[in-house]
Amino acid sequence: MVEGRDLLDIKETIEGRLADGYMKYPVVSVTLRESRSKKFFVYGEVARPGSYTLDENVTALKAICMAGGFNKFGSSSNVKILRPKTGTSGYETIKVNIQKVMSGKASQDLELNDGDIVVIQEGMF
């Protein structure tokens, strides 16, 4: 099992096991063929919409920051998270008022899950 381990650690483990009575000086090369990292998506009125790697403790506000912040049309009071439903198709819609989060109500800032889509809608003028 190599889940959660970096490539150097995996390489050293394999070399150590091979050196334990099987080979004298094993040299192993380990490469990553495909990454299956957890991801979230940012869509709408931000500077850089797209997919991002989901690290620990990424919230809606942090996701918007990672995407370069709101563009000139983005509405901080009109943000929602589309969360994939478990066991069925479709999304659960969760409204997030980023304006309230930025004014100190951190409890309003939801932590993202794998596959979440943060949607920033255009503000009404």
Residues 16 and 47 in one domain: no
Residues 55 and 108 in one domain: yes
43 and 29 inside one domain:
no
Per residue of the chain (125 residues), give pLDDT as tens: 887 788 999 999 999 999 998 888 999 999 887 767 889 999 999 999 999 998 888 999 999 999 999 999 988 888 999 999 988 899 999 999 888 888 888 777 889 999 999 999 987 65
Domain extent at residue 3: 1-33
74 and 105 housed in the same domain: yes
Residues 56 and 27 in one domain: no
Q: Write the CA distances from 27 to 15, 16, 21, integer angstroms.
A: 6, 10, 14
* Cα dist from 107 to 31, 55, 97, 98, 101, whole Å: 41, 19, 11, 11, 7
pLDDT of residue 14: 93
Q: How far apart are CA 92 and CA 102, in angstroms?
A: 24
The total domain count for the chain is 2
Q: Which helix (H) or strand (E) holds 83?
A: strand 74-84
